[in-house]
Amino acid sequence: MISHRELRMRLIAGAEAGDAVMSTPVNWVHSSDLQDPTPWLEPGQVLLTNGAQFPAITTAGQAKGRALAGAYVTRLHDSGVLALGFAAGIVTDSVPAELIEACDEAGLPLIEIDPTTPFIAIIRFVADVISDDRRSRLEWSLEAQRAVARAALRADGLPAILLELSRRLGCWVALYDSARNVLTVPGLAPMPGELRADIDEAVHASLARGARGSVRVADEGVGYTMQTLGQTGHLLGVLVVGTMTPLDPAENDLVGSVIGLASIALEQRRALDAARRRLRTGLFELLLSGVVDVADRTATSLWGPLPEEPVHVSVVTGTVTGQSLFDELELAAARPEGGLFFAERGDEILVVSREPKDLEAVLQRHGLGFGCSAPVRWADLPRGLTEARRSARSVSRERSFVRFEHLAEQGLQGLLASSGGQLVARRLLEPVLDLPDQERDETLRTLRVWLWHNGAWDPAARELGVHRHTLRSRVRVVDALLGVDLESFAARAELWSALQLLE
């Protein structure tokens, strides 16, 4: 406004605050010659006056004039007035020195207006600027909303919407689903790592309340806005928009449109995801049945080709919450090279891939583990599934990724141990384990030595330091306790395995 030469205005006081005012949007320009016009003013306005109220200041004496000018300027400054415009040469010959001094002290910009400049010209100029700005923001809003609507029509509608919102606002954007997982969108600017923990906590609290709401956070160079999706009692997620300054009305309208579209997309996604999962389960059943050609053609038309043989079958272990893991698996399955296929079968999440190592990083991000089979052909998928399940039983906190080949290296005994064989062994030997401590230890040692000598009485008796008849008697007691016939090879082999598993 001051820089517009046709208005013939210049800054004569409050220069330190003048630069800030120059860059501050003016809400309106108001003219008044009242001693206290603040009841009719709003923050962000510029006040114009011709000084009709100031002769009292100049004739009241220096001290009193300063006090009156100071009180006047303080009222304007406290009410949020951006600047005071004074038209000299109409009522007073010049701008009163007391007023200039008061504006300097209060940091209120004082603008001298040429007496030939009508106030209506200033008001009209500001009105035109405000109108142009509103029209510009309206055009921006309409174009941005059209772009978001076009994005919603794409096959990857929800990710495309978030990418468009981020681009239009020039900031990072994150969408949490109802299970508190962040939607993975390739190409989307990431949330600042230092904010992740605080935002996670705030999102969790918002979803736990279950009520619709919006929160603005701004502190020490950090700013973001959180808005819930869905209705009270049925929240679908939380949208987080990382902007340093609060959103203006046009930006809020755009975010509102995105929230509406994202809510619809999330609702539709639930139904589509359920249908996709059922279809994947059906294809996996076809693959297990050996109908590989039909399954491959169907998968290719929907997601991409099945992985080329040989493949590994993996069984995911751990508790899966939300949609985030399935989002990542869907993206991996849709890659042109066709390196992965996944499905749900009962309570299991099954993944078939060329190289299971690629799956490890994805599952680790979600705190999950998996067991995988040795390489198999599609025709041998049932065997691969059995191997993967056996490997999954050996997954632990210390070892989240178990290959069947590693179990095979441990031999049959290692496989039994990793498959929960200890529990079966304890159940088989329970009658012996329930004996008094000394008798139990003696019986177990007797059995181990006797079986180590292949059931030969004399060498086993010599090692134990007992008579062979005593050894026979102890073995007959075990026969009776366990209800087995240790004269048979099968019973001896089973007993030996059980004893090995107990060690």
pLDDT band of residue 271 (cuts 50, 70, 90) is confident
Label residue 19 by pLDDT band (50, 70, 90).
low
Residue 206 above 90 pLDDT?
no
Three-state DSSP at 475 gives helix
Report yes or no: 104 and 91 within 8 Å, Cβ to Cβ: no
394 versus 313: the higher-pLDDT residue is 313
pLDDT on residue 338? 58
Distance (Å, whole) CA 114 – CA 173: 49
Region 90-96 average pLDDT: 84
φ/ψ (deg, to 5) at 311: -125, 165
Q: Supply the pLDDT for residue 18.
A: 53
Rounded distance between C-alpha atoms, residue 405 and residue 477, angstroms = 41
- Residue 381 pLDDT class (50, 70, 90 cuts): very high
The residue type found at 258 is V
Residue 387 and residue 352 in contact, taking contact as beta carbons nearer than 8 Å: no
What is the predicted pLDDT for the residue at 89?
Answer: 83
State the average pLDDT over residues 58-77: 80
pLDDT score for 207: 80
Coil, helix or strand at residue 345: strand
Distance CA 406, CA 319 (A): 24
Cβ-count burial 137-160 (b if 16+ within 10 Å, e if not): eeeebeebbebbeebbeeeebbbb
Q: Which stretch of 16-30, 404-418, 476-490 has the lowest confidence by average pLDDT?
A: 404-418
Q: Are 209 and 187 in contact (CB under 8 A)?
A: no
Split at pLDDT 50, 70, 90, the class of 86 is very high
* Positive or negative: CA dihedral 447, 451, 453, 459: positive
Residue 8: how many other CB atoms lie within 10 Å: 13
Lowest mean pLDDT: which of 66-80, 121-135, 207-221? 207-221
* CA distance linking residue 433 with residue 442, whole number of Å: 11
Res 423: pLDDT:
67
pLDDT greater than 60 at residue 409:
no
So what's the pLDDT on residue 21? 58
Q: Does residue 313 register a pLDDT over 90? A: yes
* Percent of the chain clearing pLDDT 70 (strictly above): 89
Across 311-333, average pLDDT:
79
